[in-house]
Amino acid sequence: MRLGAHESIAGGLHKALDRALAVGCEALQLFVESSRSWKTKPLSEEEIRLFRGKAVKSEIYPILAHASYLINLAAPDNILWQKSCRTFINELERCEALGIRYLIIHPGSHMGKGEAEGLKRVAQALDKAFTVTSGFQVRILLETTAGQGTSLGYRFEHLAWLIENTSNKNRIGICLDTCHIFAAGYDIRTPESYEATMDEIDKIIGLRHIHAIHLNDSKTPLGSRVDRHEHIGKGELGIEAFRLIVNDRRFSDLPGLIETPKDETLEKDRENLAVLKSLVKPAKIAKAVK
């Protein structure tokens, strides 16, 4: 697993790469525009050149983007839904221009209209995005959620339905968040419960659809449906869950990204990544055959 973190783009998109290098990232997640504002300006050729050039030199890969928190692809209100679709498509266009392989997004909130109607709205939005960005390389990753409020994606069945009912299965996948699935009621704290949960994912969604993992501990208990991230090994999940997942050979080629609480010095990122790296068992070296 290539370990990394979500880093700030303050000062320019390329600055996220500088921060990633400073804390020892192998992979990186970032926003490609402000996550708290609908307003955005087009990327300049200089911004694209600077980011792409630094990305190649850094040898950080893969680089993933996280969609704006304002986007709600399940919104029942048509004005908000159209606005969300436009912003989402704009982010896909920015990812394609920057050479970013994945765009992660929460499925959205049905806002009282029910899960079935909400999922239909998400599928409609995804198909709209696929049509507008036909030929793009960037893949959309639907993130598992904790299930706060009317959020979709807290059951594996939600994500399986979306994969099955969208038009381009080659451009859709899953981002598994350890904090979120735990808060949603899926236990991964022991070898037995971990394997049971992985078996359930494989049966319902298929492990092959997982392309990224968010490695976050949880401040809230199992099944709380409250999304609160904690430092690795300091929360309700505990250290064993992370030992299990970073050593799972099924995920050995995937990015494992922390979204744990930060400080201005980024020392907490260094500490969390160091903890994760310490859990990785060294590969067995085969004895030379004479």
| Structure token digits, residue 93 | 């266009």
From the list 110, 209, 214, 243, the catalytic residue is 214
From the list 180, 209, 211, 243, the catalytic residue is 180
- What is the signed CA dihedral for 15, 17, 18, 22, rounded to 10 degrees? 140
Pairing of strands 27-30, 102-105: unpaired
From the list 36, 46, 192, 249, the catalytic residue is 36
- Concerning whether 66 is annotated as a catalytic residue, the answer is yes
From the list 14, 66, 94, 110, the catalytic residue is 66
- Concerning whether 194 is annotated as a catalytic residue, the answer is no
From the list 177, 217, 236, 269, the catalytic residue is 177
- Concerning whether 253 is annotated as a catalytic residue, the answer is no
- Concerning whether 180 is annotated as a catalytic residue, the answer is yes
From the list 229, 236, 243, 269, the catalytic residue is 229
d(CA 238, CA 82): 41
Secondary structure class of 215 (helix, strand, coil): coil
d(CA 164, CA 123): 9
d(CA 200, CA 39): 40
Task: Provide DSSP, 99-113.
Answer: T--EEEE---B-TTS
From the list 7, 115, 227, 269, the catalytic residue is 227
From the list 19, 94, 106, 139, the catalytic residue is 106
- Concerning whether 229 is annotated as a catalytic residue, the answer is yes
- Concerning whether 199 is annotated as a catalytic residue, the answer is no
Q: Are the C-beta atoms of 232 and 2 separated by less than 8 Å?
A: no
From the list 91, 143, 217, 269, the catalytic residue is 143
Q: What is the DSSP letter of 280?
A: S
From the list 93, 127, 240, 259, the catalytic residue is 259
- Concerning whether 189 is annotated as a catalytic residue, the answer is no
- Concerning whether 157 is annotated as a catalytic residue, the answer is no
CA terminus-to-terminus distance, the chain: 32
Pairing of strands 229-230, 2-6: unpaired
From the list 18, 69, 117, 267, the catalytic residue is 69
Residue with the two structure tokens 């004895």: 287
- Concerning whether 214 is annotated as a catalytic residue, the answer is yes
Pairing of strands 63-66, 229-230: unpaired
The residues annotated as belonging to the active site are 36, 66, 69, 106, 143, 177, 180, 214, 227, 229, 259
